[in-house]
C-alpha cells in the first residue's frame, strides 16, 4: 500500500469511529442489549 491510499482510508476510518462513538454513547436500552 502506498501513500495514495491514505486519503481514501481516512474518511472511512472517521465514519467508523463516529459510528462506534454514537453506539457507545447511547443508552443500553436503545441498543436492545
All three cell numbers of 20, joined, read: 462506534
> Cα dist. 5→1, 10, 15, 22 in Å?
7, 9, 16, 26
CA distance 30 to 22: 12
Cell reading at 15: 465514519
Distance of CA 2 to the CA centre of its chain: 23
What are the tens digits of pLDDT across the range 1-33?
Answer: 555 677 777 888 889 999 989 888 887 666 665
Residue 3: predicted pLDDT = 59
Q: Which pLDDT value is given to residue 8?
A: 76
Amino acid at each position: 500500500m502506498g501513500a495514495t491510499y491514505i486519503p481514501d482510508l481516512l474518511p472511512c476510518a472517521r465514519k467508523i469511529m463516529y459510528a462506534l462513538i454514537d453506539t457507545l454513547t447511547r443508552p443500553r436500552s436503545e441498543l436492545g442489549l
